[in-house]
Structure formats: structure tokens, C-alpha cells
Homo-oligomer: A and B are copies of this chain.
Amino acid sequence: MNPEIRIRGYHTDMYQHVNNARYLEFLEEGRWQLLEDHMNLEEMMNNNFLFFVVNINISFKSPAKANDIIIVKSGLGKIGNTSVVFKQKIINKQTGAVYIESDCTFVIADGDGNPRKLEGELKENFLNIPALEK
């Protein structure tokens, strides 16, 4: 389920726009939700599968303001040997206007912080995740 968030005064900054750093929390919320909807997150955590973000490329298309209701959409981008890309978008619920487009690349590390190879069941799990809806 895509998170819906009503923008409040405390999300915004001097310019009355949602602050850059805050969007990263909204995007993180979207990724947890996506993982939760398509994986057994608790089992993964118990098995010491850690998610380490290695890159975020985020474009700020237009500024969200107090009282806007936003939707965070997330979907699978591509899967490499050790890394996964999630594609994300934050839009206005009423108008569909795009606030944010973002690619987040992460690896699955073991307890020692070493990236695991994405193969077998682990890879299958990710392949179950749908692409970002248009």
C-alpha cells in the first residue's frame, strides 16, 4: 500500500516547502511499505539480511506545502548481481502533480556488512515486486 501523508507545518521549512531531508524519510517509508507488502521482512531481519542504501538520486520537481496530501509510490527498478534499484515518485493525491522522482540503490548485506549475491530465493523475492506504476 502506498503511504499517504498529509503535509503539516513541521514538515516544511523557511520557504514553506517540505524540506529536502524530510522527503528522504517519506521515501524510506515508501520502501519499507513496499518491502513489507511483498516480503517477509521480519524473517529477513532475523536471518541478518540488512538493507544498506548505497545511492539515492532524487529530483525535486515541485514543492509540496502544508495541507497537501501526498502519495509515495515505489516499485522495482532493476536487479544487479548484488544491488537493487527501487524507483519512487511522490505525487499530489488530488491533482497527480509530481513532487519527487527518485532512484534508490541498495545492497543486502550480511551481519558483517558484506553484500550478499542476489540469487536463488533472495532474488526471487525481489522479482515479485512490481514495477513503479505509471
Q: Write the residues of chain A forming the contact surface with B, with a CB cutoff of 8 angstroms.
A: 8-10, 12-16, 19-22, 24-25, 28-29, 32, 42, 50, 52-60, 63, 66-67
* Chain B residues, Cβ within 8 Å of A57: 55-58
Q: List 5 A-B contacts (CB under 8 A).
A: A14-B66, A20-B28, A21-B24, A55-B58, A57-B58
* Chain B residues, Cβ within 8 Å of A19: 9-10
Contact of A14 among B12, B52, B55 (CB under 8 A): B12
Closest chain-B Cβ to A30's Cβ sits at a distance in Å of 11
State the number of copies, please: 4
Are A13's CB and B15's CB within 8 A?
no
Are A8's CB and B29's CB within 8 A?
yes
* Chain B residues, Cβ within 8 Å of A55: 57-60
Q: How far is the CA of A104 from the CA of B60 in the complex (A)?
A: 11
* Chain B residues, Cβ within 8 Å of A8: 28-29, 32
Are B53's CB and A56's CB within 8 A?
no
* Chain B residues, Cβ within 8 Å of A42: 67
Q: How far is the CA of A132 from the CA of B59 in the complex (A)?
A: 22
Contact of A53 among B12, B16, B54, B60 (CB under 8 A): B60
Task: State whether A28 and B10 are in contact (beta carbons under 8 Å apart), knowing that A56-B20, A59-B54, A60-B55 are contacts in the complex.
Answer: yes
Are B54's CB and A56's CB within 8 A?
no
